[in-house]
Amino acid sequence: MGDKDWEANLEELIEELKIIKNSKEESIEGFDQFCEFIAEPAFERLSDELRRFKIKAKHRREKPNSIHFWMNFPRSSIDEFHYIVFLPKDSIELRLKLRIRGRPDKKSPLQDNEEDFMKEVTASKVLKVSYEDLINDVLEQYRKFKYSILPQPEQQ
């Protein structure tokens, strides 16, 4: 190895670190855009519609990397279902995760499940998700949650 090898190695390392830093910043900016232009309008629209069914729903942005939507039991102030979209810490691309929390009844503790957000949506397509698609995903996740807590018929 010559004397110049370590200098080239150092230069390559510094460049790689810049790329990683820029990628992280771009991911956070992309998540901000997702929240502002897709998630917040979707959650506001869904909250408005749920009021027709006497279900209170709210959303909250938790900077820098998550947005949280939750629904209460009908005619109650107790939370039943949570839909949380988040950007994992130190992400270098806009590959989001989803955390679902729910309780079968008002006295039960919340149960947690984590998975990829909208599995069919790649990181490069997250900002192209429509707010209607997001609402449909919330509803599908809620449906899966409610069906999973239905009593199972006894086997004979």
pLDDT values of the chain reduced to their tens digit, one per residue, 156 residues:
556 788 889 889 989 989 888 889 899 999 999 999 999 999 999 999 999 999 999 999 987 799 999 999 998 999 999 999 999 988 888 999 999 999 999 999 999 999 999 999 998 899 999 999 999 999 999 999 999 887 766 666
At 28, which helix (H) or strand (E)?
helix 5-34
Residue 57 lies in a domain: yes
Residue 142 lies in a domain: yes
Report how far residue 35's alpha carbon sits from residue 17's, in angstroms, rounded to the nearest whole number: 27
Residue 153 lies in a domain: no
Q: Containing domain of residue 24, as a range?
A: 5-148
Total domain count, the chain: 1
Strand runs labelled E in the chain: 57-62, 66-72, 79-86, 97-102, 111-116
pLDDT score for 155: 63
pLDDT score for 32: 93
pLDDT score for 101: 96
Residue 49 lies in a domain: yes
Residue 95 lies in a domain: yes
pLDDT score for 90: 84
Four-CA torsion 17, 22, 24, 28, nearest 10 degrees:
160
Residue 154 lies in a domain: no
Report how far residue 61's alpha carbon sits from residue 66's, in angstroms, rounded to the nearest whole number: 6
pLDDT score for 22: 85
pLDDT score for 145: 94
Residue 30 lies in a domain: yes
